[in-house]
Homo-oligomer: A and B are copies of this chain.
Amino acid sequence: MGHIGKQTIKFDKSPIITHTYSSVGPKEGKGPMKEHFHHIYEDELMGQKSWEKGEAQMIKHTITSLLTAADKKAKEIDYILGGDLQNQINATHLGVKDFNRPFFGLYAACSTMGEAMGLGAILVGTGLANCVIAGSTSHYATAERQFRFPLEYGGQRTMTQQWTVTGSGYVLIEPTGTGPKIESITTGKIVDFNIKDASNMGAAMAPAAVDTIIAHLRDTNQKPSDYDAIITGDLGHCGLSLALELAQHSEIDLTPNMHDCGAMMFDSETQGTHSGASGCGCSASLFSSYWYKELKAKNLKKILLVPTGALMSQSSAQQGENILGIAHAVSISSI
């Protein structure tokens, strides 16, 4: 085990993703991936009085169900790692508090699933922990009113805009057991591509995705075809095209096996989601459902999961700062 290349950690004894659980909202539950999720809520409030409380409830449900699926008690968990898009990652704090476990709070915008799985893999892969839960979450309604407009305002959406996923995905990482293995992780750098359009976050994330993918391939001495699928988090349709083009500039052809969770989650034609999906919960819920099942069924031998994040806040936008990008890669093998 050790640091290879410049940004990558390779595990001698690969941590195993023994279980996953995904919960999503009603719109996600009507999209093309609907058959793969573990739980679909009927409304965005999840039985709570506010969307913010609903998001916390979704996290609590996701982790509770993950523990049930794994036949584990909360006290058997060494660490929980996670985050969300609410200011001060408040949904995650409220969602995990009752499990009463040591907690690492993370913020990497929509790339948080990559950061959580990466740090979780380090804790297990080094033998420092025996059982770690890692995940991330987002909620359409809490994100809209925090980052954009009150939903009641009914603002027009540009065609480059994405729809924040209401969803949560958590994984259980252990040193032994059955399941896909985390072979290596590549931690991303913050990339500034001079993007200021908050309605085109795919453009801010695409260069970060390509930067991390290239770093990973370089550090591990691999080529794109060594992966059955290279899966970005939430570039959306516009961001995905941009990423493919940017990779081409570095003479790397990602076209044959690149996928994007943001482009998969909704049917943009019938669901009105324009450039696709975004949010911490996008790659988290789709990895924990569809991609994990494909790995478990050995339909895929090896994937590179690359959750992508657009780093901005309401005040950074108001003050004219660029939207920065970051992406964290996790290499996962089913064999």
Interface positions of A from 82 to 113, Cβ below 8 Å from B: 83, 85-90, 93-94, 96-97, 100-109
Taking CB atoms, residues of chain B closer than 8 Å to A85 are: 88
* Nearest residue, chain B, Cβ from A88: B313
Inter-chain contacts of A53 with B (CB < 8 A)? 319, 321
**Cβ–Cβ < 8 Å partners of A1 in chain B:** 127-128
- Interface residue? A233 (CB, 8 A): no
Whether A2 sits at the interface, judged by CB under 8 Å, is: yes
Contact with B along A71-91 (1 / 0, CB 8 A): 000000011000101111110
A129 at the A/B interface (Cβ < 8 Å)? Answer: yes
Give the interface centre of A7, A49, A79, A97 by most chain B CB atoms within 10 Å.
Answer: A97
Instruction: Report Cα–Cα, A311/B321, bound state, in Å.
Output: 27
Give the most central of A93, A104, A312, A316: most B CB within 10 Å: A93
Are A105 and B107 within 8 A (Cβ)? yes
- The answer on a CB contact under 8 Å between B122 and A87 is no
Q: A128-B1, A313-B86 are in contact. Are A105 and B108 (CB under 8 A)?
A: yes
The bracket for how many chain A residues form the interface is 35 or more
Cβ of A286: which chain B residues have Cβ within 8 Å of it?
none
CB of A196 within 8 Å of the partner chain: no
Judge whether A94 and B321 touch: CB under 8 Å: yes
> In the bound complex, do residue B88 and residue A312 qualify as a contact, i.e. CB atoms below 8 Å apart?
yes
- Could you tell me the distance between the alpha carbons of A1 and B109 in the complex, rounded to whole angstroms? 32
B2 near A127 with CB under 8 A, answer yes
Pick the contact of A187 from B97, B100, B104, B108 — CB < 8 Å?
B104
Q: Give Cα A326–Cα B314 distance, bound, in whole angstroms.
A: 26
Contacts of A9 on B, CB cut-off 8 Å?
A: 128
Q: How far is the CA of A97 from the CA of B326 in the complex (A)?
A: 10
Asked if A315 is at the interface of the complex by the 8 Å CB criterion, the answer is: yes
Would you call A3 an interface residue if the criterion is a C-beta within 8 Å of the partner chain's C-beta atoms?
A: yes
Residue of chain B at shortest CB distance from A103: B190
Q: With a CB–CB cut-off of 8 A, which chain B residues contact A129?
A: 3
> Once the chains bind, are A7 and B122 in contact (CB under 8 Å)?
no
Report whether A97 and B319 are in contact in the complex, using a CB–CB cutoff of 8 Å: no
A123 at interface, CB cutoff 8 A: yes
A292 and B119 alpha carbons, distance in the complex (Å): 27
Residue positions of A touching B, CB distance < 8 A: 1-3, 7, 9, 49-50, 52-53, 78-79, 83, 85-90, 93-94, 96-97, 100-109, 115, 119, 122-123, 126-130, 146, 187-190, 192, 311-316, 319, 321, 324, 326
Could you show 18 A-B contacts with beta carbons less than 8 Å apart? A2-B127, A2-B128, A3-B128, A53-B321, A86-B315, A90-B311, A90-B321, A94-B321, A101-B189, A103-B189, A103-B326, A104-B115, A105-B107, A105-B108, A105-B326, A122-B122, A122-B123, A122-B128
